[in-house]
Amino acid sequence: MCGLGGIGKTQDVLSCIYEYEHRRPVFWIHAGSIAQFEADYRKLGSLAKIPGHDNPKQNIGLIVKQWLEGPQSGEWILVIDNADNKLDFYPEPTSIESKGTDTVSNVIAYDGIAEFIPGGSKGTIIVTTRDREVARNLANQNVIIKPELRPEQAMELFYQHYSNTESMPDDTAALTRLLMELQYLPLAIVHVAAYLDLNRSITISRYLEIFTGTKESQQRLLSKSHHINWRGKNKNAETILTTFSISFRQLRQQSKLADSFLQFMACIDRKAIPHDLLLKIRLDGVEDELLISEALDKLVNFSILQNAKIDFGSGHGYEIHSLVHLAMQTYLESEMDTALNKASTLLANTLPDSKYDNWVEWRVYLPHAMALLGNLVEHLVEDSEASADLCVKAGRHLFDLGRYSESQKLYERARKLYAVLFGEENTKTLAAMYSMGYTFRFRGLLKEAQELEEKVLEVRRRMLGEEHPDTLSSMQNLAATYTELGGRLQEVQELEEKVLEVSKRTLGEEHPATLRTMQSLAATYAELGGRLKEVQELEEKVLEVSRRTLGEEHPDTLRGMQSLAITYKELGGRLKEVQELEEKVLEVRRRTLGEEHPDTLFSMQNLAITYKLLGGRLKEVQELEEKVLEVMRRTLGEEHPATLISMQNLAITYKKLGGRLKEVQELEEKVLEVRRRTLGEEHPDTLRGMQNLAITYRELGGRLKEVQELEEKVLEVSRRTLGEEHPDTLRGMQNLAITYRELGGRLKEVQELEEKVLEVRRRTLGEEHPDTLSSMQNLAATYTELGGRLQEVQELQEKVLEVRRRTLGEEHPDTLRGMQNLAITYRELGGRLKEVQELEEKVLEVSRRTLGEEHPDTLRGMQNLAITYRELGGRLKEVQELEEKVLEVRRRTLGEEHPHTLISMQNLAITYKKLGGRLKEVQELEEKVLEVRRRTLGEEHPHTLFSMQNLAITYKKLGGRLKEVQELEEKVLEVRRRTLGEEHPHTLFSMQNLAITYKKLGGRLKEVQELEEKVLEAMRRTLGEEHPHTLPTMQNLAITYKKLGGRLKEVQELEEKVLEVRRRTLGEEHPDTLISMQNLAITYKELGGRLQEVHELEEKVLEVRRRTLGRDHRDIADAMYNLALTLYDVERTEEAISLMEEAACSHVRIYGSDHSHTKDAERLAKRWKDRRRRGFYLSRRGRRQ
């Protein structure tokens, strides 16, 4: 029976022979040493009265052997216990050459114990040994390998030696854990049980707590001595650790190389030790694989090592029992310093660099490097160059794994060691500082990174010169830090241009290092903005040279393709070329690097982004990004920075696909939780995670306070750590401004934030930088909401469009967005619908040609143009066709419940409303939209509330459902009051809508008045007297006063005020100005005595609308209808009849012959004709707008 010391071999043999002790004699011989063996053989001879046993000059080994083989001994069982030392059984010449044969012990030692074990067929011999080689030599194939105990067997063994069972119910879990820690080793279990039985004040839980605390605690507890009856003749109490030391001493006697391996493995991790690593380290200078394998087999034969399968190289590896590993370190205590220094040198020389091709090796090597580095600290052995080199190699791989904090600590350790050994300005010390700066930057410690990198650069300039490659690398590194710090792009540019100039001169125009510097400078030009053409030229140059000098599939060439693809993306209009480049890069990397290489995964990610931009391929994007995330989770780990970026990208895709905001929230909360824990609360990546989650909370609705808190936190940290003018700080201001705008009532703060952002970007980036232009656009949107500044809005947007046309080209996506925004402003300004139409038709034509018919941007262009056609009037059929097309594509590509699909349904419902006669379809569309939003976004999401409001308006038009309308609008108002506040614009609009419903329900005009006066007071105070939203509220209140009666003078004052402001701010011909003219004309009519002014106002309205809107717009038809009534009132009957008939024809073309407006106009024209014949006169006031 063979097995590890203490595993219970002797106990098993005792259990076995107890069954035979009454049937045959059992002779128990201890073979732990030759002296023990001789003494027990003499005792056997004495008990059996074998002739000659008492003659000290007789060979007792031979006498007993012959007696056991002879007939007089009968049947017997002979146990040879602790046959552990091979040299005692099979001596080698070198081990006995100094010994004579003058004593019996020396004779036995000379011949070996194996010579004196009986042969033949008589009796049964049982041997226990730790050495498999001894077992095989003695018993051939009749060897039993003692297995580990099963958990239930270990528990039973513990109970046999622990009588304090009263504490067991509470400590069962602790005992289970303790047995696992002891790895079910019988000797250890018995020792611990006996110790606890004697020391009742120490519970199992407390023992476990101490045992798992430190290595020193384990050593102290396992060094407690205890007598075990079945452990043999040793009169001294045995400890667990001394039990193993017997094997270590015997191993040292038998094989110097095996002993060296034992020392090496005592310094590294005990698990997954690769056989290939042990071949590579060239221990003691030995390279012969046979000699190495023999030495390792000896360790296996002693059960010190256990064979194990590992996922690396040959698949052959080893592991060591935890208690054996601890015993090894205890046994080598006095030699540990030497062993650690030797192991450091061996491992530092063996570990490969950290390029991806070596990551499989590193996966099994890293635990050993980290264990060795930990042991160096524990034993205070850190004064060698090898240990510093090991810190650098392990630090680099930890950095590549994204474990920046651990990497930084190792680089710091290396720096201190190199400084002590070689001085502060040694090249190795500086290289460690350089690497530390790198880790600082990735941890977001930008100030620390800057200080270190400036120090390294200063020393390298002084010691190596301005143009040394290491100096240039330092310049490049410092430039990268300045870029992240923000606000120093000019310095970055100067550093990189210097590096490029030197590289070109010293290395040549086409040297790989020169090309990499060109690539970095191109990235800086891109950051500076307005230099995309130069960026393109540099990157095309890099790619051309790389292709020619390195080949089409060289990694540097592929990087060049990817960089150029990104530039083409930014230039716009070349997405097909981008797709071709990125598909090429991905194909080559898949073939040459494999599906799961990080570079392949990054290519998949880049291509996914391009597919997003191309539109219509979101399912492919999702598949690519889910594949990337799955591989990164498996190969890099759940918390690697690259894995977290993949989670964020997938979250964005889920957002675009719609209906998965909960999954988006879970992914982003996971990203933020990991970054907070691994990088810290204030790391730039953590702040970006907060910002992304804030945006998702905003989209989920009902959590604007949380959004505000997150964004205010981001901005506060960015201001404090990066400075007021850092790009990330400015982005934080802009995001918070958007939230303040949505919260309502804080437009002045929004304006201040956005003006600050714009001022800084103009000063630091220039008037024409893309970020500056984005700020102009955002500020223009705020001015629009503030009202009364449409001329400034127009100037900002025209500036944005002019720069984008000049720097990006007429067809760049950003240029097209600029056109679209300007078109919306022209629409707001009024009187320029033809220009709006031209801009939007241009945007749509380019989008169709460059992006395709079904690209998201193309669909947005169709939708915007449809809105313009709707406002122009007379083209409702085209509007319907465009919107039905958009809806069909979105249903097919995004799904029925995607947010964009729902918006299309809502828009089409509005068009059906205007076409008339399709209110049932409108109702079905809006009920569908509302049902989906309630289910996917929740009852109180802003979009859900808008859907409720739209459906309420439809129910109003359908008639007979005013109670449902009231319930919907009261629900909307209640939620908005609670989530947005009493004075938020959306809350005020809800009040206004509910007031209109109360009007229709009748009998609640006082409540209507109170609501509208409340709305008007709040808007005057928060938005100002002349804001576009304040003015319609005045108009609504005027209508209410009119219905209440007796307040026509107040009505007149309100409507004259509205008209005066709109004339001044929007112009005489703006659609809203024309509505005000029309409403005031009706009021004048009701006041009486001002029919000439009424006539002039209505003629003006009709003239402008005919000129600006086209032939068959509904507003023209309404203006004709109203003017016809006034003409009839001033007794210009023929003109009135003619105009009313024209209005009726226009209504037929716009609404159809069955629409109520059409029938009303036809009925009046016919009645007037009849009354003209009969001489009667009928007065009507007109249609208010």
pLDDT of residue 381: 80
Are 914 and 938 in contact, with CB atoms under 8 Å apart? no
Residues 6+ apart with CB under 8 A from 792: 780, 783
Burial class (CB in 10 A: 0-12, 13-18, 19+), 235: exposed
Model confidence at 167, pLDDT cuts 50, 70, 90, reads: low
3-state secondary structure at position 24? coil
Region 1111-1139: mean pLDDT is 88
pLDDT, position 342: 95
Task: Name which of 389, 384, 387 is nearest 373 in CA terms.
Answer: 387
pLDDT, residue 1098, reads: 92
Q: Which residues does 693 contact at the CB level (< 8 Å), separation at least 6?
A: 665, 668, 669, 672, 710
Query: Rounded distance, CA 1121 to CA 1155, Å?
Result: 15
Closest CA to 273 of 341, 357, 366: 366
Quick one: average pLDDT of 1167-1181? 71
CB 459 within 8 A of CB 425: yes
* pLDDT(1173) > 60: yes
Residue 236 binned pLDDT confidence (cut-offs 50, 70, 90): very low
What is the reported pLDDT for 127? 95
* Most trustworthy range by pLDDT among 17-21, 200-204, 670-674, 1038-1042: 670-674
- Where residue 624 falls among pLDDT bands split at 50, 70, 90? very high
In sequence order, the β-bridge partners of residue 129 are: 2
* pLDDT higher than 80, residue 808: no
CA–CA separation, 499 vs 140, rounded Å? 73
As a whole number of angstroms, the distance between CA 385 and CA 387 comes to: 6
Closest CA to 441 of 415, 475, 478: 478
The C-alpha atoms of residue 961 and residue 445 are separated, in whole angstroms, by 63
CA 47 – CA 831 distance, rounded (Å): 127
Chain Cα centroid distance, residue 477: 26
Cβ atoms within 10 Å, residue 804: 23
| Distance between CA atoms of residues 567 and 342, nearest Å | 52
For residue 916, the model assigns a pLDDT of: 65
Q: Which tens digit of pLDDT belongs to each residue from 203-229?
A: 888 888 887 877 777 777 777 665 555
- What's the pLDDT score for residue 521? 86
Q: Left if phi > 0, otherwise alpha if psi is -120 to 50, otherwise beta: which for 403?
A: beta
Average confidence (pLDDT) over 335-356: 92
The answer to whether 1030 and 1020 are in contact (CB under 8 A) is yes
DSSP-assigned letter for residue 897 = T
Calculate the alpha carbon distances from 947 to 840, 966, 996 in Å. 27, 14, 18
Whether the CB-CB separation of 398 and 406 falls below 8 Å is answered with yes
Structure-token pair, residue 828: 């707001």
Q: How far apart are CA 907 and CA 950, in angstroms?
A: 11
Q: With bands split at pLDDT 50, 70 and 90, how would you rate the model's confidence at 231?
A: very low
Q: Are 112 and 82 in contact (CB under 8 A)?
A: no
**Predicted pLDDT at 105:** 63
pLDDT over 80 (residue 747): no
Per-residue model confidence (pLDDT) at position 419? 94
CA distances from 493 to 242, 483, 523, 542, 636 (A): 67, 9, 10, 18, 34
Contact (CB, 8 A) for 798 and 559: no
Residue with tokens 């062993």: 339
pLDDT one-digit tens code per residue, 380-396: 887 789 999 999 999 99
Question: 38-42, 294-298, 1045-1049, 1131-1135: which has the minimum mean pLDDT?
Answer: 1045-1049
Q: Which residues pair with 26 in a beta bridge?
A: 77
Tell which phi-psi region holds residue 593, choosing left (phi > 0), alpha (psi between -120 and 50) or beta: alpha
pLDDT mean over 1012-1038:
86
Amino acid at position 753, single letter = L
Which H helix or E strand runs over 307?
A: strand 306-309
Q: Residues 489-507: what's their mean pLDDT?
A: 87
Q: What is the pLDDT of residue 227?
A: 52
> What per-residue confidence (pLDDT) applies to 165?
65
Question: Residue 307 phi/psi, 5° resolution?
Answer: -65, 140
Q: What is the pLDDT of residues 533-574, one digit of tens each?
A: 788 889 999 999 999 998 898 888 999 999 999 888 776 657
706 pLDDT higher than 80: yes
pLDDT digits (tens, 9 = 90+) for 722-745: 788 888 899 999 999 988 877 766
Closest-CA residue to 651 (of 631, 625, 612): 625
Percent of the chain with pLDDT over 90: 34
pLDDT in tens, 815-844: 998 999 999 888 776 667 788 899 999 999
Q: Which residue has the tokens 């005031």?
A: 1080
pLDDT value of position 393: 96
Q: Would you state the structure tokens that stand for residue 188, as one six-digit string?
A: 């250890």
Q: Is the pLDDT of residue 511 over 60?
A: yes
- Which residue is associated with the tokens 């390294």? 456
- Phi, psi of 1054, rounded to the nearest 5 degrees: -60, -45
Paired tokens of 804: 């984008």
- Sheet bearing 306-309, strands edge to edge: 273-274, 316-319, 306-309
Mean pLDDT computed over 359-379: 91
Q: Read off the pLDDT band of 39 (50, 70, 90).
A: confident
Sign of the Cα pseudo-torsion (410, 416, 422, 428, in order) = positive
- CA-nearest of 422, 130, 457, 145 to 298 is 130
Q: Is the pLDDT of residue 169 over 60?
A: no
Selected residue with higher pLDDT from 230 and 933: 933
Of 1096 and 105, the one with more pLDDT: 1096
3-class secondary-structure state, position 873:
coil
- 10 Å Cβ neighbour count for 576? 14
Least confident of 160-174, 243-257, 532-546, 954-968: 160-174
Predicted pLDDT of residue 626: 93
At 117 the pLDDT is 92
Q: Are 372 and 410 in contact (CB under 8 A)?
A: no
Among the ranges given (91-100, 923-932, 1029-1038), the one the predictor scored with the smallest mean pLDDT = 91-100
Which DSSP string do the residues of 755-813 spell out, in sequence order? Answer: HHHHHHHHHHT-TT-HHHHHHHHHHHHHHHHH-S-HHHHHHHHHHHHHHHHHHT-TT-H
Q: Per this entry, what is the length of the chain?
A: 1185
225-234, 248-257, 447-456 — most confident range: 447-456
Angle at 399 between CA 396 and CA 404, to 5 degrees: 135
**Any idea what DSSP says for residue 166?**
G
H-state helical runs in 808-918? 813-829, 833-851, 856-872, 876-894, 899-915
Helical ranges in 1025-1090 per DSSP H: 1030-1044, 1048-1065, 1071-1087
Determine the Cα–Cα distance for residues 858 and 844; give it in Å rounded to an integer: 6
Q: What is the DSSP letter of 982?
A: T
pLDDT, greater one: 223 or 421: 421
Is-contact 916 1114, C-beta < 8 A? no
Whether the pLDDT of residue 1022 is over 70: the answer is yes
Terminal CA-to-CA distance of the chain, rounded, Å? Answer: 104
Rounded Cα–Cα distance for residues 33 and 473 (Å) = 65
DSSP state of 115: G
Amino acid making up residue 586: L
CA torsion sign, 879 to 885 to 891 to 893? Answer: negative
Average pLDDT, the chain: 85
**Range from 588-602, 628-642, 832-846, 1105-1119 carrying the lowest mean pLDDT:** 1105-1119
The position carrying tokens 């010579």 is: 115
Is it the case that residue 1151 has pLDDT exceeding 90? no
Q: Cα–Cα distance between 455 and 474 in angstroms, integer?
A: 10
Max mean pLDDT among 545-549, 575-579, 1175-1179 falls in 545-549
Question: Rounded to an integer, what distance in angstroms lies between the CA atom of residue 885 and that of residue 882?
Answer: 5
**Euclidean distance between CA atoms 5 and 85, whole angstroms:** 12
Torsion, Cα of 924, 929, 932, 938 (10° steps): -130
Lowest-pLDDT choice from 114-128, 854-868, 1062-1076: 1062-1076
For 985, counting Cβ atoms within 10 Å of its Cβ (0-12 exposed, 13-18 middle, 19+ buried), the class is buried
Q: What share of the chain in percent tops pLDDT 70?
A: 93
Residues 6+ apart with CB under 8 A from 355: none
CB-based burial of residue 311 (10 Å sphere; 0-12 exposed, 13-18 middle, 19+ buried)?
A: exposed
